[in-house]
C-alpha cells in the first residue's frame, strides 16, 4: 500500500509543479519515479513481468539514444532529454501496471485529486488568468479527459460522482479548449450509452440519471460561464496554423522517413521547413502524431500506433479508459504528450492502470 501512495504523491508532485521555473522540479520528479521503480524491483526480488506496452515504451528511449550517438538528431541535447522523458514514461507505465491489484483505490484517489485540481484551476483562471499549474489550456483539457472517463464510470456505483463529472466538464468549458470540450462532451454521451447497452445502468434508472447529470452539468457550466469557449469557436480559420504546421511536419517526414530528425528536436528542424514566418518561435507541431513521425521516423509512429492498439480493448472493456483514448485523439490537433514530461508520464501511468484492466464494475448497476 505504501508504494501506491508514494506513486500517487510523485504523480501529483509532477502535475503541481508543471509551471515551476528551472529544472529542479522535473529532476526531483524523475529521480523519485526511478527511485520508486528501482525499490519495487528490489522488493520483488527482481521478478519483473514485462508487459508488451512497457517494452514498446522503452523503444523511444533507446531510439533517442541511438539518434544522439549516431548524430542523426539535429539537436543532441533535446534528444538526450527525450530519452530521459521516455524512460520516465516507461517507468510510470510499469509502476501503474505493477500496482494493478489496487486499481480501484488508485483510480478513485486520482479522481478525487483531479476534481479538486479542476476546481482550483477554475478559481485561478478567474483570479489570475492562469489554470493553476497548467501552462496551456489544451494540456489541462487532456488531463481532464482522462479524469472525466473515470468520473463517469464511478457514477455507475455512486451517484455522488456525478457532481465531479459535471465539474470536470465545466472546467474544460471555462478553460476554452475547443477540442477538449468536444471530446469531453463525446465522453458524456458515449460512455453512459455503452454502459446502458451492456446492462450496467438499469432501464428504470436511466431517465433519472440522465436528468440529474444534465442538470448538474448545465448548472456548473452556467456558473463558470461558457463565453470563453464560445469566443474560441467563433474565431475565423481556427486550425489554419495547425494545417501549415502539419504540412511542414509531413515534409520533414518525407525527407527522413525512417531515421527522423531526432526525438525532441522538432522545433530545431522546423525552420528549414516552415511555410510562413511571423517572427514567433514555434515550439511544437501541434500534432503529436505528426511530430512523432517527423522526429522518430516510421519506427516511432509504429510504436505509438501499437501502444494505442493494445490499449483499445481494455479501454472499451473498462469504459473509463475511453478518456485516455480521447487524449490520443486530442493529440491529432495538439501536443498533450510533448513539452511537459511530468504530464506525459501521468498519461502513461494511467495507461499502465488500464493495461491489465478487467471489468471492475461489470456487476454493478444504478
Q: What pLDDT score was predicted for residue 1?
A: 64
Taking only the tens place, the pLDDT of each residue in 271-311 is: 999 987 766 788 899 999 999 999 999 999 999 999 999 99
Inter-axis angle of helices 341-355 and 137-154, to 10 degrees? 20
Cα 273 from chain centre: 28
User: What does the pLDDT average to over 78-105?
Assistant: 92
C-alpha cell at 175: 478553460
C-alpha cell at 333: 490537433
Inter-axis angle of helices 52-69 and 288-318, to 10 degrees? 170
Q: Are 323 and 147 in contact (CB under 8 A)?
A: yes
Q: How confident is the model at residue 248 (pLDDT cuts 50, 70, 90)?
A: very high
Q: How far apart are CA 165 and CA 150, in angstroms?
A: 9
The gap between the terminal CA atoms of the chain, to the nearest Å, is 30
Whole-prediction pTM: 0.94
Q: How confident is the model at residue 157 (pLDDT cuts 50, 70, 90)?
A: confident
Q: What pLDDT score was predicted for residue 259?
A: 95
Cα 310 from chain centre: 16
Q: How far apart are CA 59 and CA 51, in angstroms?
A: 13
Q: How far apart are CA 357 and CA 315, in angstroms?
A: 8
Q: How far apart are CA 105 and CA 5, in angstroms?
A: 10
Does residue 47 carry a pLDDT above 80?
no
Q: What length does the chain have?
A: 366
Whole-Å CA distances, 294 to 43, 64, 88, 283: 40, 13, 22, 14
Q: What is the three-class DSSP state of 213?
A: helix
Q: How many CB atoms lie within 10 A of CB 75?
A: 21
Phi, psi of 131 (to 5 degrees): -105, 50
Q: What pLDDT score was predicted for residue 44?
A: 73
User: What does the pLDDT average to over 156-172?
Assistant: 93
User: What does the pLDDT average to over 217-235?
Assistant: 90
Q: What is the residue extent of each domain of the chain?
A: 2-237+286-355
Reported as type and span, the H/E element at residue 303 is: helix 288-318
Q: How far apart are CA 59 and CA 64, in angstroms?
A: 9
User: What does the pLDDT average to over 144-162?
Assistant: 93
Does residue 359 carry a pLDDT above 60?
no
User: What does the pLDDT average to over 167-193?
Assistant: 96
Whole-Å CA distances, 360 to 78, 165, 259, 314, 324: 41, 19, 42, 11, 17
- Kindly report which listed range (45-54, 82-91, 117-126) carries the lowest average pLDDT score: 45-54
Go through 228-264 and write b for each residue having 16 or more CB atoms within 10 A of its CB, e for each that does not: ebeeeeeeeeeeeebeebbebbeebbeebeebbbbbb
Q: How confident is the model at residue 206 (pLDDT cuts 50, 70, 90)?
A: confident
Q: DSSP state, 51?
A: P
Taking only the tens place, the pLDDT of each residue in 50-76 is: 899 999 999 999 999 999 999 999 999
Q: How far apart are CA 163 and CA 217, in angstroms?
A: 8
Q: How far apart are CA 105 and CA 97, in angstroms?
A: 14
Q: Are 34 and 61 in contact (CB under 8 A)?
A: no
Q: How confident is the model at residue 335 (pLDDT cuts 50, 70, 90)?
A: very high
Q: What pLDDT score was predicted for residue 326?
A: 98
Whole-Å CA distances, 51 to 104, 151, 225, 259: 20, 27, 44, 26
Q: What pLDDT score was predicted for residue 82?
A: 97
C-alpha cell at 307: 501502444
Task: Report the largest interatomic distance among the alpha carbons of the chain, rounded to a whole angstrom.
Answer: 64
If we measure between CA atoms, which residue out of 323, 248, 246 comes closest to residue 289? 246
Q: How confident is the model at residue 104 (pLDDT cuts 50, 70, 90)?
A: confident
**Cβ-based neighbours of 139, under 8 Å, separated by 6 or more:** 334, 335, 336, 339, 340, 343
Q: How far apart are CA 79 and CA 61, in angstroms?
A: 9
To the nearest whole number, what is the mean pLDDT of the chain? 92
User: What does the pLDDT average to over 200-204?
Assistant: 79
Rg, Å, the chain Cα set: 20
Amino acid at each position: 500500500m505504501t508504494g501506491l501512495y508514494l506513486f500517487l504523491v510523485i504523480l501529483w508532485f509532477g502535475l503541481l509543479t508543471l509551471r515551476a521555473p528551472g529544472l529542479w522540479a522535473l529532476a526531483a520528479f524523475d529521480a523519485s519515479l526511478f527511485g520508486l521503480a528501482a525499490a519495487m524491483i528490489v522488493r520483488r526480488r527482481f521478478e519483473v513481468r514485462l508487459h508488451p506496452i512497457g517494452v514498446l515504451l522503452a523503444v523511444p528511449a533507446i531510439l533517442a539514444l541511438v539518434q544522439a550517438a549516431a548524430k542523426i538528431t539535429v539537436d543532441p541535447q533535446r534528444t538526450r532529454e527525450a530519452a530521459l522523458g521516455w524512460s520516465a514514461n516507461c517507468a510510470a507505465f510499469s509502476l501503474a501496471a505493477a500496482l494493478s491489484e489496487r486499481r480501484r483505490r488508485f483510480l478513485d484517489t486520482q479522481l478525487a485529486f483531479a476534481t479538486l485540481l479542476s476546481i482550483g484551476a477554475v478559481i485561478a483562471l478567474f483570479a489570475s488568468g492562469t489554470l493553476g499549474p497548467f501552462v496551456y489550456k489544451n494540456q489541462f483539457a487532456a488531463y481532464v479527459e482522462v479524469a472525466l472517463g473515470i468520473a463517469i464510470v464511478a457514477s455507475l456505483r455512486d451517484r455522488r460522482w456525478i457532481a465531479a463529472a459535471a465539474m470536470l466538464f465545466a472546467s474544460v468549458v471555462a478553460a476554452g479548449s475547443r477540442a477538449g470540450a468536444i471530446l469531453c462532451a463525446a465522453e458524456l454521451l458515449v460512455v453512459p450509452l455503452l454502459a446502458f447497452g451492456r446492462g450496467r445502468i438499469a432501464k428504470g434508472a436511466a431517465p433519472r440519471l440522465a436528468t440529474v447529470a444534465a442538470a448538474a452539468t448545465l448548472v456548473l457550466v452556467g456558473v463558470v460561464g461558457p463565453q470563453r469557449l464560445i469566443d474560441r469557436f467563433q474565431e475565423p480559420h481556427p486550425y489554419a496554423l495547425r494545417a501549415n504546421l502539419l504540412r511542414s511536419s509531413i515534409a520533414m517526414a518525407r525527407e527522413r522517413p525512417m531515421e527522423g530528425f531526432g526525438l525532441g528536436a522538432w522545433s530545431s528542424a522546423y525552420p528549414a521547413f516552415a511555410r510562413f514566418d511571423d517572427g514567433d518561435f514555434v515550439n511544437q507541431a501541434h500534432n503529436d502524431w505528426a511530430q512523432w513521425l517527423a522526429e522518430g521516423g516510421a519506427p516511432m509512429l509504429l510504436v505509438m500506433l501499437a501502444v494505442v492498439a493494445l490499449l483499445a480493448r481494455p479501454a472499451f472493456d473498462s469504459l473509463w479508459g475511453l478518456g485516455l483514448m480521447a487524449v490520443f485523439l486530442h493529440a491529432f490537433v495538439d501536443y498533450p504528450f510533448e513539452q511537459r514530461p511530468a504530464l506525459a508520464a501521468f498519461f502513461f501511468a494511467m495507461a499502465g492502470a488500464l493495461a491489465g484492466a478487467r471489468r471492475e464494475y461489470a456487476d454493478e448497476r444504478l
